Amino acid sequence: MDETGSPVNQTMYRGIIGSLLYLSASRPDIVFTMRLCARFQSNTKESHLKAAKRILRYLKGTHDLVLYYSSGYLVDRKSTSGICHFLGSFIISWGTRKQNSVALSTVEAEYVAATSCCAQLLWIKQ
């Protein structure tokens, strides 16, 4: 937090933060610092802009770093759901499993997980 620093153009700063947010999906090494910088979008000072530019310089110097998945690792795009059922404060059932279908959105994946959880509860009830 820099309350005494000189203010800078918020539009440019928000553009940089937006670009970094987009990159954070493939560069998990910048997520923490990018989100820390994003907290100051409404009251941007020169020190915040310097920090954002430092992240950009880091990205320029590390453009050859990538996440590598071997050819044997097959991603099927199916979400994995985890469920726990409690009776009072005692756990009576738990499990994880890969969903049967590919969800096109996070909401749809949550809906499929909730449906699976309800089916498990009905089985326990019987």
Q: Model confidence over 88-122: pLDDT tens digits?
A: 888 888 877 777 777 778 788 788 878 888 888 88
Greater pLDDT, 17 or 92: 17
The per-residue pLDDT for 4 is 82
Nearest to 84 by CA among 55, 121, 52: 121
Q: What percentage of the chain carries pLDDT values higher than 70?
A: 90
- Sequence-ordered alpha helix ranges (H) in the chain: 10-23, 31-38, 46-61, 106-125
46-61 and 31-38 are packed helices; what angle lies between their axes, rounded to 10 degrees?
160
